[in-house]
């Protein structure tokens, strides 16, 4: 069964409060999402493999570590996932970025896929799939299916706010995918919105609606 990590770091929790606040405007919302994505990326990369090296300091030779150069891919689920990409790239500037375009049909809540573009060497990369919101889980499941059908073998899913329903469906359908979240909220409302949540992440990021 996949593991679920809730990042309760004080900086993440503080910034998330302002992300949730309905008075936070587009500019600040975007900046905060970017900052939280960086902080989450710091936590999510704890298990990156290291190689032993020797380095000449001005004093002597030291045994030290460098990243072993694992190939990474970041994949935002469009649109709202885009808001998290730059924040992650600040810590992993060499990562390749793929895109999966999905929107939720407002009536059925089913995800509709409209765009997929991934790095050519999908099978060799470890992927971080990102989206601020995990609600019913339909979009995340469709995106994970899309990545796996193209050869991805190692996927982590990272989001800001998750509903219990979304977490459960990923655990059931993709037990190999670990989930990294900043907050696990209470429930979904009748329209599939997370309660208390932050509203519509795409609209708040891009100033639409
Ligand atoms: C939102 C959000 C997720 C999805 C979550 O996107 O960014 O992708 O809903 O809901 P789910 O877990 O029930 O599938 P939306 O469909 O509103 O598209 P947008 O990012 O283009 O605004
Ligand atoms: N998508 C959002 O943007 N917000 C929600 O609460 C649920 C789905």
Long-range contacts of 84-87 (CB under 8 A, 24+ apart): 84/33, 84/34, 84/37, 84/130, 84/131, 84/132, 84/158, 84/160, 85/37, 85/130, 86/34, 86/37, 87/33, 87/34, 87/35, 87/36, 87/37, 87/38, 87/41
Distance 57 CA to ligand 1 centre (A): 50
The most distant pair of C-alpha atoms in the chain lies apart, rounded to whole Å, by 67
Q: How confident is the model at residue 109, as a pLDDT?
A: 83
Does the structure's ipTM exceed the value 0.90? yes
Lowest mean pLDDT among 40-44, 59-63, 104-108, 122-126: 104-108
pLDDT-based confidence at residue 107 (cuts at 50, 70, 90): confident
Q: Span 170-175, mean pLDDT?
A: 98
The answer to whether 104 is a known ligand-binding residue is yes
pLDDT in tens, 20-75: 999 999 999 999 999 999 999 999 999 999 999 999 999 999 999 999 989 999 99
Give the fold, CATH level 3, of 4-206. Answer: Rossmann fold (3.40.50)
Q: What is the pTM of this model?
A: 0.96
**Domain residue ranges in the chain:** 4-206
Annotated active-site residue 203? The verdict is yes
Annotated active-site residue 200? The verdict is yes
């Amino acid at each position: 069964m996949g593991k679920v990590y809730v990042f309760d770091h004080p900086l993440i929790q503080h910034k998330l409060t302002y992300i949730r606040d309905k008075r936070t405007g587009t500019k600040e919302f975007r900046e905060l999402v970017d900052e939280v994505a960086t902080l989450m990326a710091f936590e999510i990369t704890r298990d990156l493999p290291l190689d032993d090296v020797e380095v000449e300091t001005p004093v002597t030779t030291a045994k030290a570590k460098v990243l072993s150069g694992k190939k990474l891919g970041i994949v935002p689920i469009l649109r709202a996932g885009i808001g998290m990409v730059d924040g992650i790239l600040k810590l992993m500037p060499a990562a390749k970025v793929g895109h999966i375009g999905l929107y939720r049909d407002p009536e059925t809540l089913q995800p509709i896929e409209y765009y997929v573009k991934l790095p050519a060497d999908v099978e060799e990369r470890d992927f971080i799939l990102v989206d601020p919101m995990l609600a019913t889980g339909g979009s995340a499941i469709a995106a994970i299916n899309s990545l796996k059908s193209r050869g991805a073998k190692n996927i982590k899913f990272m989001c800001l706010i998750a509903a219990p329903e979304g977490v459960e469906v990923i655990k059931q359908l993709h037990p190999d995918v670990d989930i990294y979240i900043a907050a696990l909220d209470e429930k979904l409302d009748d329209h599939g919105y997370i309660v208390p949540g932050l509203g519509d992440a795409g609209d708040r990021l891009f100033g639409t609606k």
